[in-house]
Amino acid sequence: MFEKILIANRGEIACRVIRTARRMGIKTVAVYSDADRNALHVEMADEAVHIGAAPSAQSYLLIDRIVDACRKTGAQAVHPGYGFLSEKREFQEALAAAGIAFIGPDAHAIQAMGDKIESKKLAKQAGVSTVPGYLGVIADDGEAVTIARDIGYPVMIKASAGGGGKGMRVAWNDEEAREGFRSAQNEARSSFADDRVFVEKYIQQPRHIEIQVLADGQGTCLYLGERECSIQRRHQKVIEEAPSPFLDAATRKAMGEQAVALANAVQYKSAGTVEFIVDAERNFYFLEMNTRLQVEHPVTELITGLDLVEQMIRVAAGQKLTIRQEDVRLHGWAVEARVYAEDPFRNFLPSTGRLTHYRPPAADPHVRVDTGVFEGGEISMYYDPMIAKLCTWGSTRDAAIGRMREALDQYYIRGVSHNIPFLASLMANQRFVDGRLTTNFIAEEYPSGFHASDLPPEDPAVLIAVAAVIHRSHNDRDIQISGKMPGSKVKVRDDWVVVLDGTAHPVHLHPADGSPQRIGYAVDIEGRHHTVWSDWQLGEPLFRGTVNGEHVCVQIDRVGIGYRLHHGGAQAVVKVLTPKAAKLDALMPVKAPPDMSKFLLSPMPGLLVSLAVTEGQEVKAGEVLAVVEAMKMENILRAAQDGTVAKIHAAPGGSLAVDQKIVEFA
């Protein structure tokens, strides 16, 4: 077994590998860029080596820097994580030439499966079902249109070297095929330095289901069940679960055996994933093979009891697998939600900045949090804005979903925007609960984007009762202030008005008898009786307790004289006032926001790649105005209505902040 390994990655996956290595008694080496000097993975590792500037092309993607770090520290092996160099054949070859083990497959398997065109040809030869399409390299957008017509719309345009949703477009007509080809090619060139693009039939009502394989390169190759990854946004997975609520035992076995056949065809060793697209009749077609650990691997670990990172390390050290296919058993259900620093209410724009407060749910056998951030740390503009992977396990799918809802309520993040409201909405969506999933789920359930109205309806009495108890607790503390005049007495009133999102609710509350916890109140809200019990203490950001016997977790922020409460993905601004103050509050004027309708604003922090208009130019609704690149994704900004350009406020090549002015209209 290795004595020391280097992790050629950052963030949560680097921390996750370090945890397993530490448990195995293996020392670890972290690498870091300028932006990650104080990152969690650097602190967790036994050693750390600086490898370059913040952009990944100047640090984490430099093979020679990683190899040199191995030499300096004496690392005998490298775990690449996912992304960056994890599927670069040249990286494995460079390590092999330096006598350093690669904790992953050999170069020939990486090369064979890393090219989407070649991998489909190999899959056909191995007897694996594949999607109809044109696997040749396409020269230009005109040829792309011709091929798309031959296959029949809709088609999927993909970068051959793509991954992570980059370089992918769905086209329903000639115009979309032309534009999709150009955008996919540009993204592929920017992200992978390889602009080859191919076209295949787009399967409608599809599910994305993948098979986890594990091989030792010594004759044993296993499949470890499947993961359902159909909940995606812009081809990026959002929710994953294992097993799939759709597969039956026969389909699972058939998919698993085809995945193993493909792995054997390339003499695969280590952990890998074979991705399939599955139609409504359970027909399945090969998409691609990821020759690395997947982001969503924890759900497989939770239902199989296996540590995939440990198995990868053991295989790389030359050890045989000690389990057989008949030993693989799937226990219970696991769900993973990807928590991102992005604003779901602003079309999921990335959010960067400092995590001023960060408190994940407490880990236990049913809740797992894989993260690479900490309170006070930065979410950098240079890398993927993932905060954590939140995973829950249950004996049934409903139990796992229920635990996920509770865990999301407990996840306290401040300083950056995050997608927890959206994740909470997904968990409560009846179609999701029923397991009626396709890769079009988000587009169909949230056709105009995500809005507060998409959150599950909540009984406002829960937040009203909690707000009243919180405020009463503050008042109970305030009357105990020292230094009062002799004989002075202050009685805390029992009657209040809770103003929730502008609506006033009269409330009467008094201490409840026989409370089993530190706080106990009987709360009457407009004639309805509620009992609130909790161990909450002043200053705590999470109110955990029960309302009428039902467990609740409400996040609390003090805002001026009121509170901002978060529960079930929703947030509400609450003020608890005396009846007289509530009457006066209702008379207060509301300040209207400034009118910005005459401006094209940058929807995200990013780079202004191009500007398609000039001052004085007339534009029509739908016309392209500018292209902004963020997180290596091109975002086309179009005119919302007809108008005339009055002034240009930004130049191509410049960096943009959120809501920065780009174009002003007359």
Q: What is the mean pLDDT of residues 275-301?
A: 95
Residue that is last in its domain, among 456, 478, 510: 456
Q: Quick one: 418 and 367 in the same domain?
A: yes
DSSP one-letter code for 253: H
In tens, the pLDDT along 475-515 reads 888 887 777 777 777 778 899 999 998 899 999 998 888 77
Quick one: angle between helices 89-97 and 63-73, nearest 10? 30
Q: Quick one: 123 and 225 in the same domain?
A: yes
Q: Quick one: 354 and 451 in the same domain?
A: yes
Q: What is the mean pLDDT of residues 6-29?
A: 98
Give me the chain's average pLDDT, please. Answer: 93
In tens, the pLDDT along 339-351 reads 999 999 988 888 8
**Number of Cα atoms under 13 Å in the Cβ half of residue 149:** 9
Residue 651 lies in a domain: yes
Q: Quick one: 320 and 393 in the same domain?
A: no
Residue 309 lies in a domain: yes
Q: Quick one: 227 and 123 in the same domain?
A: yes
Q: Quick one: 69 and 36 in the same domain?
A: yes
Separation of first and last alpha carbons in the chain: 70
State yes or no: pLDDT of 166 exceeds 70: yes
CATH number at residue 213: 3.30.470.20
Closest-CA residue to 432 (of 456, 452, 453, 408): 456
* pLDDT score recorded for residue 631: 64
In this structure, how many other beta carbons lie within 10 angstroms of the beta carbon of residue 449?
Answer: 12
Element (H, E) at 65: helix 63-73
Q: Quick one: 512 and 648 in the same domain?
A: no
CATH number at residue 654: 2.40.50.100
In this structure, how many other beta carbons lie within 10 angstroms of the beta carbon of residue 328?
Answer: 17
Q: Taking the alpha carbons of 256, 258, 264, 270 in that order, is the dihedral positive or negative?
A: negative
Give the pair of three-digit tokens for residue 138: 């396409």
Q: Quick one: 393 and 520 in the same domain?
A: no
Beta pairing class for 101-102 and 77-79? parallel
Give the pair of three-digit tokens for residue 536: 């909450």
Residue 590 lies in a domain: no
Q: Taking the alpha carbons of 75, 78, 79, 85 in that order, is the dihedral positive or negative?
A: positive
State yes or no: pLDDT of 427 exceeds 90: yes
Q: Quick one: 342 and 408 in the same domain?
A: yes
Q: Quick one: 125 and 262 in the same domain?
A: yes
Residue 108 lies in a domain: no
Residue that is last in its domain, among 201, 227, 262: 201
Tell me the C-alpha distance between 452 and 570, whole Å.
7
In tens, the pLDDT along 429-439 reads 999 999 999 99
CATH number at residue 60: 3.40.50.20
Residue type at position 298: P
Contact 141, 213 (CB under 8 A): no
Residues marked as catalytic: 288
Give the pair of three-digit tokens for residue 97: 């030439």
Residue 612 lies in a domain: yes
Residue 183 lies in a domain: yes
Count of domains forming the chain: 6
Residue 109 lies in a domain: no
* pLDDT score recorded for residue 271: 98
3-class secondary structure per residue, 83-100: CCCCCCHHHHHHHHHCCC
Closest-CA residue to 10 (of 38, 136, 265): 38
CATH number at residue 533: 3.30.700.30
Tell me the C-alpha distance between 280 and 486, whole Å.
78
Contact 645, 612 (CB under 8 A): no
Instruction: Name, in order, each residue with C-beta under 8 angstroms of 150's C-beta and a sequence gap of 6 or more.
Output: 134
Range of the domain at 192: 132-201
Tell me the C-alpha distance between 594 and 369, whole Å.
41
Give the pair of three-digit tokens for residue 265: 């065809």
* pLDDT score recorded for residue 632: 62
In tens, the pLDDT along 141-163 reads 999 999 999 998 999 998 888 76
Q: Quick one: 350 and 446 in the same domain?
A: yes
Q: Quick one: 395 and 506 in the same domain?
A: no
Give the pair of three-digit tokens for residue 603: 């929807």
CATH number at residue 139: 3.30.1490.20
Quick one: angle between helices 297-304 and 308-316, nearest 10? 100
Closest-CA residue to 619 (of 646, 592, 656, 596): 646
Residue 110 lies in a domain: no
Residue that is last in its domain, among 328, 355, 372: 328
Give the pair of three-digit tokens for residue 147: 């091929």
